[in-house]
Structure formats: structure tokens, C-alpha cells
Amino acid sequence: MKSVVARVLVLSAFVAAPFVQTNHYWQHVFCVALIGVVLALGMQLLLGMAGLLSLGQAAFYGIGAYVSAALTLYFGAPFLVAFILAGVAAAICSLLLVPIVRLPGSSLAVATLGFNIIIYLVLLNEDWATGGSFGIMNVPAPRIFGFAFAGERAMYFLCLFVAVVVYLGMERLVHSRFGRALRAISQDEDAARASGISVNLYKSKCFLVAAFTAGIAGSLYAHQARYINPYDFSFTKSIEILIMVVVGGLGSMPGAVVGALIVVLAPEYLRSSGELRLILFGALVVVLMGFSRGGVAGLVSVLGQQLTRFRPLRASKATSSGEPQ
Amino acid sequence: MTGPLLGTEQLACRFGGLVAVGGVDMSVQRGDVQGLIGPNGAGKTTFLNLISGHVRPTGGAIFFEGSNLEALPPQRRAAIGIRRTFQNLRLFREMTALENVMVGLHAGTESEIFHSLLRSRKQRREERETAQASRAALDFVGLAGCENLVAGALPYGHQRLLEIARAFVAKPKLMLLDEPAAGLNGAEAGQLVGLIRRIQAAGVTVILVEHHMEVVMRACDRIVVLNYGKKLADGSPADIRDHSGVIEAYLGARLPASAKQTDVKPTGAPCSQKSAMLRISGLHVKYGQIPALRGLDMDVGAGEIVALIGANGAGKSTTLKAISGLVSPSAGTLELKGRSLAGLAPEQRVELGIVQVPEGRRIFPRLTVDENLLVGAYPARARADERQARERAYTLFPRLAERRRQAGASLSGGEQQMLAFARAMMAQPLLLLLDEPSLGLAPILVEEVAAAISRFHRDGATILLVEQNAELALSLASRGFVIETGRIVLTGSGPNLLKNPEVWASYLGQGDWEAAPDNGRREPASMN
């Protein structure tokens, strides 16, 4: 019950945001933040649930953006079709990673980073398909069943809808057989195998889902920014996505949302500090991590425990007394 | 179907030049509890790993229900009914107890990504059935009511049971139990025998690797003894008990006799203020909301061996962690030679001479034996003398000297315990904290550890010993403290406590195994 109230409140705040802030630039920034949320949710599944450190999410983001832009611009595909195919194309490309999912932590990170660099170079150099360093201009605004999402506010609600659906989907996945298998793998691969889990198969599936998520985020971005170029999808974007989930708190879906908002919005709010803004942002990240290894989500749960003297552990323990071991 | 459930033919496995399993023929009959015992490093765990598929054989074959398992990966073997537990507790520590057990049902269920996203009828039914079966399994092992607790926060004994529940929930045909009694006290070990019998009654064949001889003798229908990767003996528990080769290679002389070598001064009185090495008063420690220690008072005199005994979850490990600084107390004082330890970090306490051998060994798996020892000599006081100290360690544990260039991870469980022990000695401790030094050791090695402890004591070390094997601990110690739910309830000289029927009844549980489950009840609100 408590969580339902919290959800309604949070959703209301998101709905109210573009009405409270009517400046078009800020509404544009909010859209970017919501796209960041979608990216962070996919990354949370990889890193927070399955413990897979990928530095290649921006590649799938880019694949989604280019596929969606090309399909609508050159082939006249409707937005919805392009949106879904952007996710599918990214997911198919993630199959290229199947041979490397078995790599341990740091090797996997470097290998996915390499993958990101390759995709970036393809986007930059295959001019005939991608427009090279000029990118693709005049990407049409999304149009669904005749309704054009032309204004910033309409676009914001489209992004919000996608973010909410992805959030709910991730939540279902986490608490399902699939999610349990991923969490088990991240904590002990041998024990997971001994329980009947095909570790490499599930890691591949996890990459697939995360790539799909990044792909549809890319589609949203292409049609929201209306102009894309390779520089948006270099590995620094992957690092940014990583910062989102680590700052927000590993393993927490609400944390991923908060992390994405912080990473996108904080530099914008700090814009008044001029050239110092990225330094201030960096300092903010360092200080936050110094305070709580669990990121914002960890900080909130620690504060929550301090404030409420709620004792669920005790209660459930008491019921076990008297049971012979 | 007739024929054995599991058979091995000339099964062999070598790691580099080391032969872990060297051509073993074994057959396990349906419905049996098959014991597998032998000295540390005999290849027992490797044998289980071969059957579960976690390690590939270098020769021979394994037949399960008549068919060759050959290249079947572990997850496929799990799916066809071979489940296992691990020697060093491999739980999904951050998931709840219920979720851990639910993972055990992975192979029997099918809901995939789309089913979960859409919450299909099939997915909801499977989730419901999985949760239900998992609760039943928790109940079966005696963990009802723990389902929503995070696995890593459960007391040690409960974690062992949880691993069994995770394997049992899938109704396997064959269960491989790797030292399930390690770290359990006598009463709990008695309950474990009952649990193994119930698993057997549920139609599951069991292979039990165990050092706890009482458990092995009571639980097993047949026993195979391995030594240096070869089969040394095969027969009923009675045959094995009388087998001279087994006694020589594995059991050794009976323990209490050897323990008497220690020249302990059985004084029951607490040591005087002046000679106290360590003094603890009114110590409270909490994990979150749960109190683990509730006003603990004890003291350790200079040059003394003091034993701290009690059930799992009574607070023994927590006491050691509070002394070494790994947990910070919420109230109470700790003094080393009259100096307060408040506010000192663990590494500063090591510099002062408080050195702990942690439960579960915690050696550095990727460092060699040599390097592990040198890391032990990190404190400034010990560094100058590190080479001599290392040679002393090798004389004490010749097995380690043979393996000095090998990575820590490649050692057997018993050898790792030796290494943890030797590493602590490298720091030249004033006060040595030993957390379950005999855990997972073959009886013959337990004797070696007992002898080593006596030797350290004669060299002037002060030792605080925490042990499930209370008989061992009390026969070594000059004084003992019995802890129950975070408080000292009984204290006296080691020999006196050893004779005390109260101690025997509640903690050793060896007098009357049938009555043990009642004695073993304890308040679960405390943890280790």
C-alpha cells in the first residue's frame, strides 16, 4: 500500500514537471533525462542484477538511433515500426557478444569497450549509410496513428510512457525466474550451475534484453533530437551510463532512475557555474560515492532504517523459535 | 530399474602433476547413504566435483542410471537429478532464504522473459508452485520462518541447512553433501544425522563427504575411504571402524589422549588484574536491530589458552570479531594489557599483536603459499624476522613446505586451514584468536592442530580458542567460557567444564544423540 502511494506521487511529479517548467530548453533536457532513465534501467539489469560490467551500452544506443532514423527517413517506415526494429536490431547485434560473455569482470569490460569503439568507427566512417561525421539530419518527429509528437511537451510524455513501461518490465523481470537466475549468477556461478542454470546462456539473454532497451532509447533520442551524429555514441556515453547506475545504487531499479536524473540534470543545473560545471559534477559524484557505496539508493535505505524503528527481521525471526533446527 | 544409481570406472583427475583422483571404481546403490571419507587432500571434494560436473575427469567414466555422463555440463546434470552442496557454503548471499531455494527449482520450470514481462498464467502458476515447494523445503530442513531473511545474515548452521534445502527442493535422485557437519556442534550434528535420514526416506540417494566420524558412522549405510586419490577401503561402517589401514591413515590415535600432552594448569579462578592479557566487560554488539552480544564479560590471562564454546549463533565469532575490530561494539570495553582498544582499526590492533585466524580460512587464493605467509608478516614487529618465521612455519607444517610455490586456491581444504594458521603465526601475535581451527579437518589433522596449539602455547603465545569441537577445545584450554545468546553462562577450568554434565548436554550433545534435537533448540534471534 505504502509503495502504491509512493509510486503515484512520483509519477504525478513526473507528469507535472513539463507544466511547472514551461521553458522549451528545459523540457528538452527532461526528455534527455528520461531517455537516460531507459538506458540506466537496461544497464542496471546487466550490472546490478547479473553483475556484468559492460562498457558497450552506447553502441546499442547508437545502433537503435541510426536504425530508427534511417528507417523513417529513407524508407518512410512509421515511427512505431522503426522504434521496435531499433530495439530488435540492437538486440541482434548483441549476439555478436555471445562468444565473450564468459569473460570475467575486467576482461568483459574491456572487450565490450572495444565493441563500442568498433561500432563508433563504423558510424563515423561508413558515410554511405550513416552520413559519416555529419550524421543524419532532419529525422522526422514521431507520429503514432496520425498524432505527431512535434512539441517538446508531447515528446516528453512519449519518453515518460516508454520509461514507465520499461521500469515496470524490469521490475517484473527482477522478481521472476529469469531475474533470480541472473542474481544467482552474479553471486556464485558454480552454485548457479549446480542449481541447473546455464550461466552463459543467461548472460547472453541479459545482454540481449539490455541491448533491446538501449536500442529503443536510441530510437527515442533520434526522433527527439532530430539530428544524430557518431559523437553521441562514443564510449564516453557508455561511461556516463555506468555512472548513472553506480551513483543511483547497484541492484536498485529506483536507484537507476535517480542516478540517470542526477547525471543528466546536475550538469544542466550547474550550467550557471560556467566552465566549472563538469568539475563540480565530478566532485559531486566523488562525494556521493564516498558517503555511500550503495549510491543514492543505499543512502536512502540507511536513512530509512535510522528514521523508522520498523523491525521486520525480528518479527519473522520470532516465528521460527521453537522449530527444531 | 536395477543396477547401481551411480557408478564410476577408473575415474581419474589430475591437476598438472598432482593426482587428485587416481582411478577410482565405485558404485552407489539406490536409496543408500554412501559415505566418502579420507584424510585432507585425499581427493574427496574433487570426486564430488567430477560427479557434479564442476571438474572434468582426465580419465575413466561416470555412469548415472546406466548412461555415461561424459561431457554433460553441471547444469544439465543438475537437471537430470544430481544436486550438491559445497564445502565452503556457496549461497547467493544477498538473496533471501526463500529466493535461494527457489533458484534450486530453476531446472524444473520454464517461464522465460516474455512470460515474466506479461505475467502470463503459466508464469504466475509456476511462481506460486515454486514458492510453495521452496517453503516446504525450508520447513523440511527446519528453517521455517527464515524465508525472508537475507541468506548472508543467517547464522552459520542455518546457512548449511539452507544449502541443503536448495539442493533438496528439486527432489533430486542423487544428493552430494560436502562436509555438511563442518562447523556444527555436537547437538546440531545429531540433528543433521536425522535430516540425512529423512532425505534418504524421501527417496534420495546421498553421497556424504564428512570428517565428523560420529555423523558418518550413524548416517551411512556404506563407506568408501579414499587416500591419495585411491580407494583404501569399502564396506559397512562397522568394517571401516575396524579396518587397520583406515585407522592408520585417517583416524589416528584417539584425540583426548594426545591432547593431554599439553601442560595446562587447571585453575578455575579468573586471572588477576595485573596479568590479564585481554579483558572484556559488558560488551554489546548488534547487527542492525539484532543483538549478537548482550553484555559479555570475560578475560584471558597472559600465556593462557582460553576456550570459548557454545552453540552456533551464540555469538562466538562475533566476540572474536569485536576483539579484532571487524565489528564495533555498541557498548562495553575491550582492553589489551590494560590499554583500551576503543577506536582502533583492525590493522592497528594487528600491530599491537592481536591476530585472528578467521573462520572459513580466508587465505589469498591467487597468492602462492609462500606469498600468503609473507603477507602474514606484514606488521612492523614481524617484518624483520619474516624469513626465520617462515621456515619455522614450514617445519611445523611440512605439507605446506611441499606446496610452497602452489597457489593458495589449489590446496585442499585441510591444507588451507594449515596455511591460515601458519599465516597468523607469521605476525608474531601476543594474542592469537582462533576461530574454528579444526573445521573441516580430518581427525588425524585435528590432532596436528592440537599439537601445534600446544606448541605455540609453550612458546609463550596467549590463545583464545573458539571451537565447535568442545572436547578438543576444553582439553587444550586452562579455562573455558560457555556462551549462550550473547552472554557468558558458565565458566570454569577446562577439565571441570569437560566433566560438567550441563555442558555435555547442551553443547556437546554426544551423550544422547536421540535426545539431541531438543537440547539443540536455541533462540534464533542471535547470530554468529
Q: Which of B113, B159, B161, B176 to mutate to test the interface with A (most CBs of A within 10 A)?
A: B113
DSSP letter at B154 equals S
If pLDDT is split at 50, 70 and 90, which confidence band does B2 have? low
E-strand ranges in B85-210 read: 174-178, 205-209
Q: What is the pLDDT of residue A323?
A: 36
Residues of B in contact with A308 (CB under 8 A): none
If pLDDT is split at 50, 70 and 90, which confidence band does A269 have? confident
Radius of gyration in angstroms for the set of CA atoms belonging to chain A, rounded to a whole number: 21
Asked whether the beta carbons of A130 and A230 are under 8 A apart, the reply is yes
pLDDT above 50: residue A262:
yes
pTM to 2 decimals?
0.77
Q: What is the pLDDT of residue B463?
A: 93
- The whole-angstrom separation of Cα B413 and Cα B434 is 17
pLDDT above 50: residue A320:
no
Task: Express each pLDDT in B277-316 by its tens digit.
Answer: 899 999 999 876 677 888 999 999 988 999 998 776 678 8
- Measure B24 CA to nearest chain A CA, in Å: 23
pLDDT above 80: residue B17:
no
Query: Angle at CA B520, nearest 5°, toward B519 and B524?
Result: 130
Q: What is the pLDDT of residue A308?
A: 58
Q: What is the pLDDT of residue B384?
A: 78
Structural domains of chain A, ranges and CATH numbers in brackets: 2-310 (1.10.3470)
Write the residue in B116, B146, B523 that is nearest to A176 by C-beta: B116
A164–chain B Cβ distance below 8 A for any pair: no
Q: What percent of chain B has pLDDT over 70?
A: 88
Q: What is the pLDDT of residue B251?
A: 60
Given an 8 Å threshold on Cβ–Cβ distance, is B107 in contact with A325?
no
Write the residue in B119, B157, B523 that is nearest to A172 by C-beta: B119
SS3 letters across B379-417: CHHHHCCHHHHHHHHHHHCHHHHHCCCCEHHHCCHHHHH
SS3 content of chain B, % helix, strand, coil (to 5): 40, 25, 35
If pLDDT is split at 50, 70 and 90, which confidence band does B268 have? very low
User: Exposed, middle or buried by CB within 10 Å (0-12, 13-18, 19+), for A31?
Assistant: buried
Task: Express each pLDDT in B360-404 by its tens digit.
Answer: 778 888 899 988 888 888 787 777 788 888 888 888 888 888 888
**CATH code that applies to domain B85-171:** 3.40.50.300
pLDDT above 70: residue B58:
yes
ipTM: 0.84
A208, containing H or E segment: helix A199-225
Using CA atoms of A231, A235, A238, A240 in order, give the dihedral in degrees to the nearest 10: -70
Residues of A in contact with B290 (CB under 8 A): 313-314, 317
Q: What percent of chain A has pLDDT over 70?
A: 93
Asked whether the beta carbons of B349 and B417 are under 8 A apart, the reply is no
Asked whether the beta carbons of B401 and B422 are under 8 A apart, the reply is no
DSSP letter at A76 equals -
pLDDT above 60: residue A318:
no
C-alpha cell recorded at residue B345: 582499526
pLDDT above 50: residue A275:
yes
If pLDDT is split at 50, 70 and 90, which confidence band does B252 have? low
User: Exposed, middle or buried by CB within 10 Å (0-12, 13-18, 19+), for B409?
Assistant: exposed
Task: Express each pLDDT in A142-163 by its tens digit.
Answer: 988 888 888 889 999 999 999 9
Q: What is the pLDDT of residue B172?
A: 96
If pLDDT is split at 50, 70 and 90, which confidence band does B523 have? very low
Task: Express each pLDDT in B59-116 by its tens digit.
Answer: 999 999 999 998 899 999 999 999 999 988 899 999 999 999 999 999 988 888 999 9
- Mean pLDDT across the stretch A44-49? 95
Asked whether the beta carbons of B469 and B481 are under 8 A apart, the reply is no
Q: Which of B56, B116, B176, B184 to mutate to test the interface with A (most CBs of A within 10 A)?
A: B116
If pLDDT is split at 50, 70 and 90, which confidence band does B182 have? confident
Count CB pairs under 8 A between chains A and B.
158
Given an 8 Å threshold on Cβ–Cβ distance, is A187 in contact with B123?
no
Range with the poorest average pLDDT among A167-176, B99-108, B180-189? B180-189
Q: What are the domain boundaries of chain B?
A: 85-171, 364-426
pLDDT above 90: residue A233:
yes
Residues of A in contact with B288 (CB under 8 A): 305, 313
Q: Which residues contact B233 (CB under 8 A, 6 or more apart)?
A: B223, B224, B225, B239, B240, B243, B245, B246
- Mean pLDDT across the stretch B445-449? 79
